Structure 1
Amino acid sequence: MNIRITGSRYSLTMGTIVFLLQVHRSKYSRKMPSHLHNIPALKENRRKLRSNLTPAEAALWKILQRSQLDGRKFRRQHSVGPYILDFYCPSEMLAIELDGAHHFTDAGTENDQERTSFLENLNIKVLRFENKEVFEQTEGVLEEIRRNFKKQM
């Protein structure tokens, strides 16, 4: 897979990002390099996605925003490397992805596996839920998120 992120000051390929991660992981063990978060070249994409949340994303965001879930701060449409995450909790290094129909195709599944592998290399735990679960099993979704918190507050 050849992904290129370009911007006024950045031009990164997936190979470059992986190399940077290896260097930083060896130096800083668990700390993630800050220059992989919210790359300026993805800013407009993030803004569009925040303005056009799916109904499931909007419903879950109402619960996660303003640190309402056990005091954890979540960000929506936060990018890490070349990927824009639906929700991200920096203190827990936890990503939450809501999957619609396109995720259940062969291409969608492959892309999701690549994304998850990339994020797990950064010690980011990825939780995936189907959109319908947010509506039909809201408490179950929230309980699974809580179970994946490393620290108990």
Structure 2
Amino acid sequence: MRRRLITTRARTMRRAMTEPEVILWSRLRGRSDDKPTFRRQHPFANIILDFYCPSAALAVEIDGRTHWHDEAQAKDDARDFWLKQQGVDVLRIPASSVYHDLDNVVDGILRRAAARQQMRLAPSTNRSSLRSAAGPPPAAPRGR
């Protein structure tokens, strides 16, 4: 039941994306051999990521004014810490950067995704121990 609620909420959020999210999505969307695939408003456990690249385990979060306050930053830090325990790298981008420096933002995201994909393809230790010891995700935020 909880999973269905998060999925429904993610679908609703896809229809109500913020302007910086829409702008960035216009550059990240699409599938090609030379570009990683991103998903928008992607459910991950009981949270919803602005953008997620599964092949790189990379979350991209666009932070507007609601993320400037101490309480919001503490929640973001808790989410980021939990996601890192799950093997997901989080890249936080100020919404103002999307408006003022879109080319560099997109280039940075694609470079980070490519580096993460290479790292994930390299032989590594067993990642399952990270997931089993991580505990539950932080509580879903109320509102947006």
TM-score between the two structures when normalised by the length of structure 2: 0.75
* Matching residue of 1:44: 8
SS at match of 2:37: coil
RMSD between superposed Cα atoms in Å: 1.6
Task: Output the amino acid matched with 1:117.
Answer: F
Task: Output the amino acid matched with 2:89.
Answer: K
Q: Distance in 1 between matches of 2:117 and 2:97?
A: 25
Pairwise CA distance, 1:142: 1.5
Q: Is the 8 A contact 1:63 1:69 kept in 2?
A: no
* Residues 1:85 and 2:49 are matched in the alignment: yes
* Residues 1:98 and 2:54 are matched in the alignment: no
**Identity of aligned pairs, percent?**
34
Pairwise CA distance, 1:67: 2.6
Gap change, CA 1:139 and 1:131, over 3 Å in 2: same
* Matching residue of 1:151: 117
Of residues 142-151 and 128-137 in structure 1, the stretch that sits farther from structure 2 once superposed is 142-151
TM-score between the two structures when normalised by the length of structure 1: 0.71
Q: Distance in 2 between matches of 1:111 and 1:70?
A: 35
2:18 to 54, 58, 66: 54
1:43-95 alpha-carbon deviations (Å, 9 max, x no partner): 22111100001000000001111136942111000011121000000001000
2:74 to 97, 101, 110: 110
Gap change, CA 1:146 and 1:71, over 3 Å in 2: closer
* Residues 1:66 and 2:30 are matched in the alignment: yes
Structure 1 unmatched runs, 5+: 1-6, 11-38
Structure 2 unmatched runs, 5+: 119-144
Task: Output the amino acid matched with 1:81.
Answer: A
Q: Distance in 1 between matches of 2:79 and 2:67?
A: 12
SS at match of 2:29: helix
Task: Output the amino acid matched with 1:82.
Answer: N
Q: Distance in 2 between matches of 1:111 and 1:117?
A: 10
